[in-house]
Amino acid sequence: MKPTTATAQFATIVNLCIGLFGVQVVWGLQNANTSRIFQWLGADVGQLAVLWIAGPVTGALVQPIVGYLSDRTTGRWGRRRPYILFGALSTALALVLFVNAASLAAAAAMLWFLTLSANIAMEPLRALTGDLIPPERQTRAFTLQAAFIGCGAIVSSALPWALGALFGDGPRPGGGLPGPVRYAFYIGAVTIVLAVGWTVLATREPPARPTAAEPSAPGGARALRSAERHVTYGSLWVGAAIGGALLAWWLRLRPELYVLAALAAGLGVGQAWVGWLQRRGRQPTGLLEIAEDIVQMPSAMKQLAVIQFFTWLGLFTLWVYTVPAMAETRFASRDPTSAAYQAAADWVGVLFALYNGAAVLATPFIARAGERFGHFRTHAACLALGALGIAALVLRTDRSWPWLSAVGIGIAWSSILSLPYAIVASVSPARKMGVYMGIHNLFLVAPQLVGAVFLGPVMDSAFQGRARGVPLLSAALLAVGTVAAVAFSRGRYPRPPRNAKLAL
């Protein structure tokens, strides 16, 4: 049951935003410090992308499944909150273990645990917004969430630098990580438990009821066309997976390409299985429904998938390589154990905090622009500013605070965190809100997985192992996303009425 008054809806949104604040503290700590931690434990620049592979793989697998399961969960705590709470508790444990890993292999394993847990907590929070907030208020609800997410990222990105400035480097038991980094992760563990605990206790999600029966399968020629479409898609995915694996074996490419091939093969088998069932007049059940939903998703989501591919590949490139790129460009250091390199890592943390601050300030303007000019047009303009901001990182080589870069990246980040979710919520049927939010997450993690597989070879070949020019690649990818958003800006999908108001 959705809140009926503006005041109750605003209170519900704020309660949900507090939980997202806690989750974003985790993502902010991970984004700003993972490369630093891996390099401290001995990883070279060419290894960084594949070591980050845990995020996209776990996101691709976990979020659609959690969305599907939460759509069908029943109990006195509702559909979403049990997953949110479990994910938060396991994330807190993973944060502590990650910064106490004694080897590179242990740190990589803990990153898998961390990203899996954070994804379990994240997806139901987004779906719960779609459950509880009426369509005419969802655009501003998601943009207010972007503001809270930005605040969480500000805190987490600048936290190691702030702790170091206040208390110094601190002890390093056994030569471990700098004290401010470890203590920042401990603070993050406490924060996500408290923030998500508030959301779980304060949000009034009514006990879930069993979902209504699915519509009967189409019959006749329509069913046959649907079956053939699934079989064709499945065959293409499986063929691409086999071809990619054979190419990797023949050319002795990096073994992480097999991970990408395995995921593509799994998707293809699922699609083909759905087609086989439909040929026999049977509807897919269980997790196979996710494969059916991917094919049947609204056209606006298919267009969004193209935009998100280039956007998130650009963001992944930015997050992975900004620390080594800025260390080379502005601090003249490639030694991860040097004081100059650690200063560069702190500088990047402040940069991330600044662009998240800009994202917070931009959220009310993006909400109104999205309602007035359309989500796709507004998103295109924001992505263009983000591409310019990233490019500016390498156009200047001094150590001054990167205000212009932070503003451009922050505006794009605010839009990325809000408008795509508003589009998905506007076109998703209520009974599939969770699974479509999970499928949308595939649009985010698939490009990151591609980046994890291919950015390492690109670094070694095109950039000769040096990261200083990589921000320009990130800017170019966001520029392609901008072009795609402009191309799709005439697409039609439900839009909130312009006179919809939310007491913010």
pLDDT band (50, 70, 90) for residue 342: confident
- The DSSP output letter for 244 is H
Lookup result for tokens 């805190």: 155
pLDDT band (50, 70, 90) for residue 154: confident
Lowest-confidence pick of 166-180, 396-410, 446-460: 166-180
pLDDT digits (tens, 9 = 90+) for 160-194: 878 887 876 654 545 567 788 889 999 999 999 99
| Whole-number Cα distances in Å, 195 to 67, 118, 169, 473 | 21, 13, 28, 36
Residues 184 and 265 in one domain: no
- The pTM score is 0.69
On whether residue 210 sits in a domain, the answer given is: no
Mean pLDDT of 403-423: 88
Q: What is the dihedral of CA 315, 318, 321, 327, to 10 degrees?
A: -160
Residue 91 has pLDDT above 80, yes or no: yes
On whether residue 474 sits in a domain, the answer given is: yes
Are 54 and 185 a contacting pair, CB within 8 Å?
no
Mean pLDDT of the chain: 79
31: closest CA among 199, 167, 168, 150?
A: 150
| Whole-number Cα distances in Å, 341 to 11, 58, 337, 344, 347 | 44, 30, 7, 5, 10
| Single-letter amino acid, residue 414 | S
Residue 504 has pLDDT above 70, yes or no: no
Residues 199 and 231 in one domain: no
163: closest CA among 139, 190, 181?
A: 181
Looking at residue 395, what is its pLDDT? 75
Residue 110 has pLDDT above 80, yes or no: yes
Residue 499 has pLDDT above 50, yes or no: no
Burial of 289 per CB tally in 10 Å (0-12, 13-18, 19+)? buried
Distance CA 443, CA 21 (A): 22
The proportion of the chain whose per-residue pLDDT surpasses 70, expressed as a percent, equals 82
| Cβ neighbours for 499, distance < 8 A, ≥ 6 positions apart | none
382: closest CA among 451, 481, 303?
A: 481
Residue 218 tokens read as 């189409």
Are 359 and 450 a contacting pair, CB within 8 Å?
no
Residue 485 has pLDDT above 80, yes or no: yes
On whether residue 290 sits in a domain, the answer given is: no
Residues 377 and 432 in one domain: yes
Residues 414 and 317 in one domain: yes
Which of residues 314 and 8 earns the better pLDDT score? 314
The SS3 assignment for 75 reads strand
On whether residue 309 sits in a domain, the answer given is: yes
CATH number of the domain residue 144 falls in: 1.20.1250.20
Distance CA 235, CA 270 (A): 10
Looking at residue 2, what is its pLDDT? 54
pLDDT band (50, 70, 90) for residue 284: low
Side-chain half-sphere exposure of 230, counting CA atoms within 13 A? 28
Q: Which of 282, 306, 334 is the last residue of a domain?
A: 282
Which of residues 480 and 147 earns the better pLDDT score? 480
Distance CA 147, CA 165 (A): 26
Backbone angles phi, psi at 501, to 5 degrees: -120, 145
pLDDT digits (tens, 9 = 90+) for 31-74: 778 888 888 888 876 667 667 776 667 767 777 778 777 877 77
On whether residue 287 sits in a domain, the answer given is: no
Are 73 and 85 a contacting pair, CB within 8 Å?
no
Residues 470 and 407 in one domain: yes
Distance CA 333, CA 468 (A): 11
Lookup result for tokens 């913010």: 504
Looking at residue 255, what is its pLDDT? 66
Residue 104 has pLDDT above 70, yes or no: yes
Residues 348 and 277 in one domain: no
Are 71 and 434 a contacting pair, CB within 8 Å?
yes
Distance CA 404, CA 410 (A): 10
Lowest-confidence pick of 15-29, 94-108, 287-301, 312-326: 287-301
Which of residues 375 and 233 earns the better pLDDT score? 375
Domain range for 10 is 6-205+295-487
